[in-house]
Structure 1
Amino acid sequence: MLKPQLSNLDDLIRNCKTGNLQYQEMLYKHFYGYALGVCLRYLINRDDALEAANDAFIKAFKYLNTFKEGADFKPWFRKILVNTSLDYKRKNMRFNQAIEMTDTEQQTTYSSAVDQLSVKDILSLMKNLNETQHLVFNLYEIDGYTHKEIGEMLNIPESSSRTYLSRAKQILQNLLITHSIYTK
């Protein structure tokens, strides 16, 4: 059977909306690496990330008719990937009743060591954070969600999101100093 040829992503998406499996397979192959990368940031276990990525593709194909033609597909799909990963995490995570946390430590005004790192370095160090700190750091610093949005997503107060982020940054900074990764 001949594989369909397309000139651009808009054509591919338009044909996927018709339910044609060949075009859906092409879209899947085109965005598979991206999808897995996003899911791995939230779900450290590769098998869990694979499952979430595949579930996200299923959701994307199911709701592709809501995608506006001519819009940028990647941000639309990333939102599905993030939400699917968070749903999977929530399903497997034991969130005790959220307690509002207040940041009692004074914030420093100097540029932190975390700000000097590459994404790859940060992702490697993030393995040392607890699950909630990891999620909040990822959502805020990497995906650009606001503390209000994060609070709604994780069912925690907005102030707790800020505190989790602050503590995550402090932990990462201490790791950098401890492991001599940070150079002045």
Structure 2
Amino acid sequence: MSEKDLIEGCIRGKRKAQQLLYERYAANMLAVAARYSKSLEEAEDVLQEAFIKVFQKMNTYEGKATIGAWIKRIVINTALNNQRKKLYEHPMEEVGDSNYKDEQDILLSDFSFQELLEMIQALPVGCQMVFNLYAIEGYAHKEIAEQLQISEGTSKSQYARAKKLLKAQLLAEEKKAYEKAG
């Protein structure tokens, strides 16, 4: 079934078209949701909620971006809304030095996707959201600040903190692997 037929079928509420669209995009979108979540279960909940929105709002899809990009945007927004609830309990604030310099190169290729995902998921909520939006999705700090309703300085400092925390995790894992091998 073509993408156009899938979209039209989803707009008409056809279950087969919805199932095919879900099957075509769910795995990739689960990976996106997982980057913004603290566990696989939470990511699955985000994915479920996002696809409900996709099917409810399919008639608003204008075709300006690919359907995959449109779905990804909904998944990210759903994940951010989910995490925003946690920010009320632990609000983001500007932290220390945003000019953090790397002391040593770390080869990310030495780590599996799952290991890197777990490191991102271990970040505090604010750092996790800003890191994903800036480093992975490519948003500018100004856009992140507007979307998360924080200052641009807070976005920058949360990103710097995320990098510092991730570097510490990467170094700790490298050290463990080195000690295990030696």
User: Fold match, TM over 0.5?
Assistant: yes
CA distance in structure 2 between the partners assigned to 1:170 and 1:98 by the alignment: 16
CA distance in structure 2 between the partners assigned to 1:17 and 1:24 by the alignment: 9
**Higher mean displacement: 17-26 or 80-89:** 17-26
Please list every run of at least 4 consecutive aligned residues from structure 1 whose deviation after the TM superposition is greater than 6 angstroms: none
Kept after mapping to 2: 8 A contact 1:53/1:81: yes
Where does the alignment leave 5 or more consecutive residues of structure 2 unmatched? Answer: none
Alignment match, 1:123:
117
CA distance in structure 1 between the partners assigned to 2:64 and 2:121 by the alignment: 38
CA distance in structure 2 between the partners assigned to 1:70 and 1:138 by the alignment: 24
CA distance in structure 1 between the partners assigned to 2:47 and 2:98 by the alignment: 38
Q: CA deviation at 1:35?
A: 2.2
CA distance in structure 1 between the partners assigned to 2:130 and 2:64 by the alignment: 31
Q: Does 1:19 align with 2:19?
A: no
What is the root-mean-square deviation of aligned Cα atoms in Å? Answer: 2.6
Q: CA deviation at 1:46?
A: 2.2
Aligned residues: 174
Alignment match, 2:74:
80
The 3 A distance-change label for structure 1 pair 179 and 20 is closer
TM-score if structure 2 supplies the norm length?
Answer: 0.81
Q: Give 3-state SS (helix, strand or coil) of 2:174's partner.
A: coil
Q: Partner amino acid for 2:23?
A: K
- Percent of aligned positions with the same letter in both sequences? 31
Where does the alignment leave 5 or more consecutive residues of structure 1 unmatched? Answer: 1-5
The 3 A distance-change label for structure 1 pair 105 and 49 is closer
Kept after mapping to 1: 8 A contact 2:34/2:117: no
Alignment match, 1:162:
156
Pick aligned residue for 1:104 from 97, 122, 128:
97
Larger RCO (alpha carbons 8 Å, 6+ apart): 2
